[in-house]
Amino acid sequence: MVPTDATAVAQPNIALVKYWGKRDTALNLPATGSISITLDDLRTRTRVRFSPGLGADSLTLNGAAAPEKLPRITAVLDLLRAQAGTTRFADVQSTNDFPTGAGLASSASGFAALVVAADAALGLHLPPERLSEFARRGSGSAARSVFGGFVEMARGERPDGSDAVAAPLLAATEWPLAVVVAVTSDAAKSTSSGAGMELSRRTSPLYDAWTASSTAALAEARAAIERRDFAALADISEHSSTTMHAVMLSSRPALIYWNGATVECLHLIRRLRETSGVATFSTVDAGPQVKAVCLPEDAARVADALREVPGVLYVRTTRLGPGARLIDPLNDTGGAT
């Protein structure tokens, strides 16, 4: 009898070279590749239990039933069920120790933890690239959280998406950076990234230039990571983030994910770097939170400065961490809360 119950932990990742746009919405295939870093301290913990006694899949998120999120979960579970040749439904219990759906990539850690736990609960033991492919079906960025440290997600060429998977570039320990997250709002975002990407693809006059610039940006970031060249990584990463937001802003109607505090944080991070010599750069996703990537020795200074920005609710500092992994729930070594 295969195990029917497993628990996994995964962390969000932050893209340094962003993806914003899909080449296939049904299979969730990205229009471009992307490069990310997997965080350590923000955790999703997910338990998946398959049982012949269940009449449907169910989801409890942060202690409350979340039926509105169930269709995407069921779609991913269906892929794994097909691999295992079972029709058993599953009970999924997931908790995040950070705000859900607010630009902190909770869907990335959520779907990465889901596929790792479901794979084990079904006794499948699929290779990591298959888990990455299945996580992508839930959320494009989730494909990257299957792995730790620096990760590259391939655009892929195949129509079935089997080559649109992530792969590790460098382990977290090989270039131990820190990330200070400045949270400026706990509210869930108004436009989901999926809907926003489609709007940008259809309406932004900058969209084609954005996707065309991706190959060069990926090569530049890859080279900077290989050389551990922080200044070069700062330059290409900030450019990728601000260019993505230019695409969002030039959509019709405009996608404005920033608030006033977001903008103040961007100015502050630039000032710290240019006038105080602090090794840090900013990156922002589909939400108002600002992530300042920095060298670990500068993290306290960056955190202290961001905390003082009016409108910043709180800051969290994290190192880079490992990919999604199984934990023993009775002897929880994954560190999830």
Question: Is residue 34 near ligand PMV by the rule CB under 6 A?
Answer: yes
Q: What is the DSSP letter of 270?
A: H
Q: Strands of 280-283's sheet, edge to edge?
A: 280-283, 290-294, 178-183, 314-319
Among the listed residues 7, 10, 12, 18, the single contact to ligand PMV using CB under 6 A: 18
Question: Is residue 15 near ligand PMV by the rule CB under 6 A?
Answer: yes
Q: How many residues bind ligand PMV (CB under 6 A)?
A: 13
Of 58 and 200, nearer to ligand PMV (C-beta) is: 200
Of 7 and 139, nearer to ligand PMV (C-beta) is: 139
> In this chain, which stretch among 51-59, 133-141, 164-172, 199-207 interacts with ligand PMV, using CB under 6 A?
133-141
Long-range contacts of 229-238 (CB under 8 A, 24+ apart): 230/279, 230/295, 231/279, 233/16, 233/281, 233/293, 234/273, 234/279, 234/280, 234/281, 234/293, 235/281, 236/16, 236/17, 237/16, 237/17, 237/281, 237/283, 237/293, 238/281, 238/282, 238/283
Of 100 and 139, nearer to ligand PMV (C-beta) is: 139
Binding mask 138-157 for ligand PMV (x = CB under 6 A): -xxx----------------
Among the listed residues 285, 289, 290, 321, the single contact to ligand PMV using CB under 6 A: 285
Other beta carbons less than 10 A from residue 265's beta carbon:
28
Question: Is residue 179 near ligand PMV by the rule CB under 6 A?
Answer: no
CA nearest to 201, candidates 19, 18, 21? 21
Binding mask 286-315 for ligand PMV (x = CB under 6 A): x-----------------------------
CA nearest to 92, candidates 122, 67, 60? 60
Helix pair 260-276, 299-307: axis angle to 10 deg: 140
Residues numbered 47 to 106 that lie near ligand PMV (CB under 6 A) are: none
> In this chain, which stretch among 13-21, 39-47, 80-88, 200-208 interacts with ligand PMV, using CB under 6 A?
13-21
Minimal distance in Å, beta carbon 154 to ligand PMV? 13
Question: Is residue 43 near ligand PMV by the rule CB under 6 A?
Answer: no
Of 15 and 278, nearer to ligand PMV (C-beta) is: 15
Minimal distance in Å, beta carbon 87 to ligand PMV? 28
Of 51 and 242, nearer to ligand PMV (C-beta) is: 242
Of 40 and 285, nearer to ligand PMV (C-beta) is: 285
Question: What sign has the CA pseudo-torsion 209, 214, 219, 222?
Answer: positive
| Nearest-angstrom CA–CA distance, 69 and 79 | 17
Minimal distance in Å, beta carbon 101 to ligand PMV? 10
Are 305 and 268 a contacting pair, CB within 8 Å?
Answer: yes
Other beta carbons less than 10 A from residue 25's beta carbon:
11
Binding mask 233-272 for ligand PMV (x = CB under 6 A): ----------------------------------------
The single-letter code of the amino acid at 228 is R
Residues 6 or more apart whose CB falls under 8 angstroms from that of 148 comprise 38, 168, 171, 172, 320, 321, 322, 323
Are 92 and 48 a contacting pair, CB within 8 Å?
Answer: yes
Minimal distance in Å, beta carbon 105 to ligand PMV? 6
Of 15 and 294, nearer to ligand PMV (C-beta) is: 15
Radius of gyration of the chain measured on its C-alpha atoms: 19
| Nearest-angstrom CA–CA distance, 15 and 195 | 19
Of 13 and 58, nearer to ligand PMV (C-beta) is: 13
Of 285 and 298, nearer to ligand PMV (C-beta) is: 285
Query: What are the residues binding ligand PMV (CB under 6 A)?
Result: 15, 18-20, 34, 107-108, 139-141, 193, 285-286
